[in-house]
Structure 1
Amino acid sequence: MYNVYTGKLLTEGAALPSAAQLGLEPPRFCGQCGRRMVVQVDPVGWWGQCSRHGRVYSSEIG
């Protein structure tokens, strides 16, 4: 599994960026493969698309 904000492998104790902790930053990397995603932000949420794993919507993440 990969960190969706940095694209690096998850390790214990890895810190999240401040904007991500506040919920202001959408994920920029795929959590399954670490590839950079195409991200579109709109007033009601966001979506991100990985070339290998498809699209994820902010409404799907609780």
Structure 2
Amino acid sequence: MTSYCDHCGRPAYEGDHATCLAARAMEPPRYCAHCARRMVVQVTPLGWSARCVEHGAVSG
């Protein structure tokens, strides 16, 4: 099973994702790590939630 970068949506094994990891320190994920679909993201003062239509919700 291929895993994907949850910041840029590209396969995790392709290229360098150092900038993606740095951005994820301050931002919620934008893409599903399982299928690379764009997720619905909601940011609140208390945190964030992200939902993939196929794989469900993630929160932080």
TM-score by length of 2: 0.81
1:39 equivalent to 2:45? Answer no
Listed as ranges, the gaps of 5+ residues in structure 1 are none
Partner of 2:59: 57
1:10 and 2:9 correspond: no
Number of residue pairs the alignment of both structures matches: 56
The CA RMSD measured in Å over matched residues stands at: 1.6
The CA deviation at 1:19 is 2.8
Looking at structure 1, the residues matched to 34 and 23 of structure 2 have their Cα atoms a distance apart, in angstroms, of: 22
Query: Which residue of structure 2 lines up, in the alignment, with residue 19 of structure 1?
Result: 23
